[in-house]
Structure 1
Amino acid sequence: MSHLPNEELISAAAGELGQAGASELGVIASLRAQGHEPEAVRAAIEQCELRSKAGIAWKPGGQTRQHWLLTRDGLEQASHPLVAQFHANLIVQSGVNHVIDLTAGLGSDSAAFIEAGLRVTALERHPDTAAFLAHNVPEATVLTRDCTEVDFAHYLAAQYTIFIDPARRVGSRTADGARALPERDPERWSPSLSFVTALADRFQIYMKAAPAFAPPRGWASFMISVDGTLIEMFTTNAMTGVHAVMIDSRTEQANVISTSPNPTKSVANDICIGGFLYELDPAITRAGLSQQVAGELGVSPVGEKGIWLFGTSSVPFAHARQYEVHDHFPIKDVKSRVAHLPGIAIKTKDSRRGLKELRKASGKGDHNDWAIVVLGSGASELAVLVQREP
C-alpha cells in the first residue's frame, strides 16, 4: 500500500452513503466523477464499511477511535476496548512502565496501554497493517517486524513487560468470507506457546487466549465477559490464582471475583416451586467459581456444569440472571405443562439434549419471559419451568 486511505475522502464517502436512497455503486460513481482515483475510492468505501461494522463495540474507545484505519481481519482480532482497558489496568498494577506489544495489529491494546500512562513499543509483521497501526496509535514506537525475530536481550536492562495475542486461526477464509478455523494446538499458534513460555523466564508476560485454553502451571487466569458474553481468557506469569472478570459496558466498570483460600461451603437445596434459579455469568462458570459463589450467596449449585444455582429465596446478585421457579417435571411432560403459555425460551446448556428436539417437543415458539431450563441427564434429568425476574 503506497498511501494510507484519505480521511477527507472517507468522510465524503460516509456522507454520501448516509443519504436516503444512496447505493454503494452510486457513491463510487459520484466520487470518481469528482476526479478521485479508483483505488482511493475503493479504499474509502472499505473504511466506511469497516467503521460501520465496528459500530458500538468500539464506542467505549471514545473519540480517539473514530478516525482509525481498519482491516477486516484486524477488526475481528482486536480486543474489545473495555477488555483492552482491563488488560492495561492489570499491567499498570504490576508497576512496570513500558510494554512491548508483540502482536499489535491495529492497536486496540496498544492504545489502551498509552491511555493508561504506559510507554509502548508495538510490533506488527505485516507492512500495511503496521502503517495503519502507526496512524491509529501515533504515540507508540511501531516496528514492522515479526516478534520471533527480535533480539530480546536488548530489552532486559530496562523494566519491560510483554503483551501478546497469538494468532490462533489457520488457513484462509472460506468461500463465503467466514473466518478461518481456530487452531487448538498452541504450538501451531503464531507465535507458539513454547516461544511465549521461553520469554517468561526473563519477562513478565501477559497473554490473551481463547476461554478453553489452559494456562501454564503457576500462571494466573482471568476469564473475561462483557455484558454476560464470554470474550476471552487472559493469563500472566506476574500473578497467580483464578479470576472471573465481569465488565459492564454501560458503566464501563470491571468486577472481579477471585478464588478464595477459605471458601464458604454451599448449602444443599432441592428445587422447589416458589424458589429461584440463578444463571451465572459465563466468566464465573468457566473460571470454576460456581461453588464458591454459591457458598457466598447461601444457595446451592444444581445441574452438572455449574451454570445454575438454586435458592429458596431471592438473593440480589449482579452477575446472574434470576428466575422464579413455577414448576418442575420430567422432560416427557413438557408439552402438557407449558400448554397454557404463549411461548417459552429453552435453555439446554446443562443438558445433552438438542435445542431443536426440545422446541419441537414443547410445541411452543420462543418467548422472553418464560423458559424451560433442562438440568442434568439420564435418570437425573429435570425440566424446570421458570419466569424471568425483572
Structure 2
Amino acid sequence: MNIETLRLARDKAWQLQIADIQAYVLKNPDKLKTDFLQLVADQWVARQKAKFKLPGWYANPDIIYPAPLSVEQSSSEATAEYKARLFFNAGYPNLIDLTGGMGVDSAAFASNHQSVIYVERNKSLTEIAASNFKTLGLNNIKVVNADAVQFLSAASLAADTHFYIDPARRDASKNKVFKIEDCEPDLLQIKHELSSYLIKYSPMLDIKLAMSQLETVAEVHIVAVDNEVKELLFLCHKPNGHAKITAANLTNNHWQTFSFNYETEQIAEVQFSLPLGYIYEPNAAVLKAGAFKSIAQKYGLNKLSGNSHLYTSETLIKDFPGRVFACQSVCRFDKSEVLAHLNSNQANVSTRNFPLKAEEVKKKLGLRDGGDTYLFATENFKHQKIILICQKPNEPRQT
C-alpha cells in the first residue's frame, strides 16, 4: 500500500469520534471501499494501542501507524528513552539500528547521536518510518530498506559505530520464541561482526545463559515499566571486569535503579529475622535480576526467609527500589485471628513462597479486594506460614 493512501486512511481514522471500531466497520456509514475501510480500521486500532505506550506519537495527528501488531511489538517511549541514555553514556557518536521496525527506538536515539542509520527489511515499515521521522523533525536518520545480515556484509562501517538490535521473536508460524538462536537475526551467527552493540530480548530469556552465549557482555539492564518487566538489554563490548547488572523500574514520577553483579551476589551474606517494623517487596526488575542478597546488603535489611524475597527492618528505608509497608501485625494463617486485626473485610492480598494463590487466600480468609490494608501470605525463616498485615508507611496504624 502506498504512503499517500495510508495518509488518507490516517486522516480518516483521526476524524472518527467512536468507541467501537468493529461496529463502524460492520455498518460502514461512510460507504468506504473495503480495502480502504480496513486501512482506516488498522490506523484507528494502532493509534489506540499507542495511547499509553507512545503518548507523544499518539498526540501527533500526522503520525502514520503500521499494522497494530507492529505497535504492540515496538518499544514504548519510556524504554526507548532509557536505551537512548545508555547509548549516550557509552559515548558513541554513530549508531545503526539493524532492526528498525516502527522506528520508536531510532527516533529516541536520534536525539542523542550525530547520525543514526535505520535498517529495516520490510519495505512498508521503512516507508512509514521515513514519513514519521520527517514528521518528528528528525533529519539525522538515514533510512535503509535492507536485511540486517546483508547490510552488515555490504557496508563499510566506522570503528566508532554502535549497533542496536531488536531481533524478531516470532517464528515462521508466528509463534513466540525466546532463545537467542531462535530469534532473527541470530546474534550468535553475526556477533563477531559487531564490535559494540546493545541487544534487546524478551523477559522470558535466561539472563545468565544469554551472558555465556553472547560472551562479551559488559552490562545487563532489566527494564520494567510500572513494575512489569518489558525488556532485557545486553550491552556488549570488551568487558572491563565483572558485568554490571542494573534493574530499572520506569514510572511517570521517576526511574528506580539498582545495580550489582553476580559475583558479589554469590558471596553476599544475608541476615534472617522475624518481621520487624517495616516490610519491603523488591520491584519486578530487581526480582528478575536475581539481586536477592545484594539488595539486603545494600540497604541493611533482613530477609524473612530464604525463598520468600520479602525483607524487613526496624527503621524506614525510603529509597528502597520497590514497595515499602509498615507492618501492623503478624498472624497465623487463621481466619479468625486475621479478621480480628482488620477494620473491615477488605484487603489487597499478595503471596510470596506460599502454597496457595492470592485468590485462594482471600477466599479462605473471607476477604474482598480493596481498601488501604495489604496482606502478605508468606513463610518465615522458621518455615512457619504467616500473614503480614501492613499499610503504606504514611497511613495511620490500625488499632
- When residues 204 and 306 of structure 1 are mapped into structure 2, their CA distance, relative to the original with a 3 A threshold, is farther
Match for residue 310 of structure 2 among 308, 311, 314: 308
1:113: Cα distance to partner? Answer: 0.8
Q: How does 1:152-301 map to 2 (within 5 A)?
A: 152=153, 154-170=155-171, 172=173, 180=175, 182-200=176-194, 203-213=195-205, 214=207, 215-217=210-212, 218-219=216-217, 220-238=219-237, 240-250=243-253, 253-259=254-260, 268=271, 270-272=273-275, 275-301=277-303
Residues in 2 aligned to 1:327 and 1:308: alpha-carbon distance in whole angstroms:
15
Match for residue 321 of structure 1 among 323, 333, 343: 323
1:257: Cα distance to partner? Answer: 2.4
**Contact 1:241–1:259 (Cα < 8 Å) also in 2:** yes
TM-score by length of 1: 0.83
Task: Describe the SS at the equivalent of 1:104.
Answer: coil
Structure 1 window deviating more from structure 2 (258-267 vs 73-82): it is 258-267
- When residues 29 and 230 of structure 1 are mapped into structure 2, their CA distance, relative to the original with a 3 A threshold, is same
- When residues 21 and 244 of structure 1 are mapped into structure 2, their CA distance, relative to the original with a 3 A threshold, is closer
TM-score by length of 2: 0.81
**Contact 2:152–2:193 (Cα < 8 Å) also in 1:** no
**Contact 1:208–1:234 (Cα < 8 Å) also in 2:** yes
1:289: Cα distance to partner? Answer: 2.7
1:3: Cα distance to partner? Answer: 4.0
**Contact 1:65–1:136 (Cα < 8 Å) also in 2:** no
**CA distances 1:346-374 after superposition (whole Å, capped 9, x unpaired):** 21243343333323222222124223212
Give the structure 1 partner of residue 339 of structure 2. Answer: 338
Residues in 1 aligned to 2:2 and 2:62: alpha-carbon distance in whole angstroms:
23
1:64: Cα distance to partner? Answer: 6.0
**Contact 2:171–2:177 (Cα < 8 Å) also in 1:** yes
Task: Describe the SS at the equivalent of 2:271.
Answer: coil
**Contact 1:86–1:254 (Cα < 8 Å) also in 2:** no
Residues in 2 aligned to 1:9 and 1:157: alpha-carbon distance in whole angstroms:
40
Task: Specify the code of the residue in structure 1 equivalent to 2:38.
Answer: R
- When residues 93 and 362 of structure 1 are mapped into structure 2, their CA distance, relative to the original with a 3 A threshold, is same
Residues in 2 aligned to 1:369 and 1:378: alpha-carbon distance in whole angstroms:
27
1:5: Cα distance to partner? Answer: 4.1
Residues in 2 aligned to 1:164 and 1:361: alpha-carbon distance in whole angstroms:
48
Aligned residues between the structures: 373
Where structure 1 has 5 or more consecutive residues not aligned to the other structure, the ranges are 174-179
Alignment partner of 1:56 is 2:52: yes
Residues in 2 aligned to 1:335 and 1:152: alpha-carbon distance in whole angstroms:
70
- When residues 21 and 309 of structure 1 are mapped into structure 2, their CA distance, relative to the original with a 3 A threshold, is closer
- Percent identity (aligned): 19
Residues in 1 aligned to 2:338 and 2:224: alpha-carbon distance in whole angstroms:
35
1:316: Cα distance to partner? Answer: 0.9
1:19: Cα distance to partner? Answer: 8.7
**Contact 1:226–1:246 (Cα < 8 Å) also in 2:** yes
Task: Specify the code of the residue in structure 2 equivalent to 1:270.
Answer: S
Q: How does 1:370-389 map to 2 (within 5 A)?
A: 370-376=373-379, 380-389=383-392
- When residues 118 and 355 of structure 1 are mapped into structure 2, their CA distance, relative to the original with a 3 A threshold, is farther
Residues in 1 aligned to 2:326 and 2:183: alpha-carbon distance in whole angstroms:
45
- When residues 22 and 157 of structure 1 are mapped into structure 2, their CA distance, relative to the original with a 3 A threshold, is closer
**Contact 2:380–2:386 (Cα < 8 Å) also in 1:** no
Give the structure 2 partner of residue 13 of structure 1. Answer: 13
